[in-house]
Copies of this chain bind each other. A is one copy, B any other.
């Protein structure tokens, strides 16, 4: 569909093009800027799937330094679960014949998160193919008091998908079948282990899009996405998974299969149980199948990449943009100059516009190429004319759209190549959003390699990242609880979209009152009385 784009750009845009010192194609223009995007053979590298989108298992390469065991780095005590015995292995082998993995080498990758910050010591990984197999596994583990760590693509940011001690890893990798897709309603039903990018391709071929997109799409599983209530790049347009996920099939701690896998847009029959499992990070049940509403694929997509002189101008550009682009605005992302420096340094991606303190990526998705081009050009004229934006480039064909998106999507990857990364994923009031980055940069001085800020500005979501040569308890002490206290003072969220997993579970109290924590503990006790599901995650350590 994208290659068929033929926007009717208004005459004034060609003035910008004519004003360029070098000729650029109609699909990729820059304004008033010295830098130009090189061709396909340039420093952008291949235009296909980036390494990041295959993150996960690939990150555990043998040449990288070994990751410290979680139980050693953090003060955490093993809970009194049973230890997997030979008898257990035999019993599990009967449930998933030939799919009980005990080879230490094969277990290395699933024991480590892709960021290489936490490491468990699980001795066994299971690969069920069906919900019934998952049910048998959990029924067995529940009876035997064996702890379980459900794992999708292992692309999480907070150590939620790797074991902390010797939990049995239950992988959804072989549960990768599409169950059904309805060509009129756009409802997709699939198993939990389907890879997001593959689902995306499948529905796009049928004229729809998955309402979720994120950097890890090449390896993350839809079940994991739902279990972590992933936000991502399309949140601004299509909203939360809490609205777009229509149904779930979940296996409860005792092996009960809870089938709420309906395909209805509306269903007010009783409590909406699926909501319990969305975002509960596998601590209340294991999601085995998902029903999700896919919106029609927009026939026209444009991406503008803009340079901004300051954060105040970024915010003003956002307000202008929302007013002028209205219903076709599908993403408003920002990144600071430090981010651009890192994607240049580690991934050799060139900045497509004049160097600026801030950059904005705006995406429009609509049903009328001509109308969208007109709206977008009106907006660009406005922000360039008023000085809110100092330089910009526009892409309308898929290849160049991907190239611009790569600058934003691959920041995570560039950061992970810069050293040990302290990651914060915060919701903050828009007008204070960047203050914390500046504040922290001053506070840390030379103790950090880089302090960067980027994220989903349209959703009030800041990704604040600090890199250092290696993990250091003293740097951690300077960062925490400072960052959390700062966020709490603004009544923000200490985890906007990444969840709490293992690494953030103890900071829940910065964003939720004690009454909420108590009710969460009660829900956990109700749904998983023995606490076997993804222990040491999501809820604070009880003291």
Contacts and interface: CB of A to CB of B under 8 A. Distances in A.
Contact of A497 (B185, B266, B275, B366): B266
Interface in A241-266: 242-244, 252, 256-260, 262-266
Nearest to A259: B513
Contacts of A267: 427, 493, 495-496, 511
B268 A493 contact: yes
B262 A268 contact: no
Contact of A266 (B273, B430, B493, B538): B493
26 contacts: A184-B319, A185-B429, A185-B460, A229-B268, A239-B239, A242-B242, A243-B243, A258-B513, A260-B512, A264-B493, A264-B496, A265-B427, A265-B460, A266-B460, A267-B496, A268-B499, A269-B493, A269-B512, A270-B508, A272-B275, A276-B276, A298-B327, A326-B367, A327-B327, A368-B374, A519-B527
A492 interface: yes
A366 to B, nearest CB: 6
A516 interface: yes
A167 interface: no
Interface of A: 184-185, 228-229, 231, 235, 239-240, 242-244, 252, 256-260, 262-273, 275-276, 278-280, 284, 296, 298-299, 319, 322-328, 365-368, 371, 374-375, 427, 429-431, 456, 459-461, 491-500, 507-508, 510-513, 515-517, 519-520, 522-523, 526-527, 538-539
A507 B284 CA distance: 27
B262 A493 contact: yes
A322 B184 CA distance: 10
Nearest to A230: B268
A243 B245 CA distance: 10
A510 B264 CA distance: 14
A352 to B, nearest CB: 27
A461 B185 contact: no
Contacts of A513: 258-260
Contacts of A275: 242, 272, 275-276
Nearest to A319: B184
A39 to B, nearest CB: 33
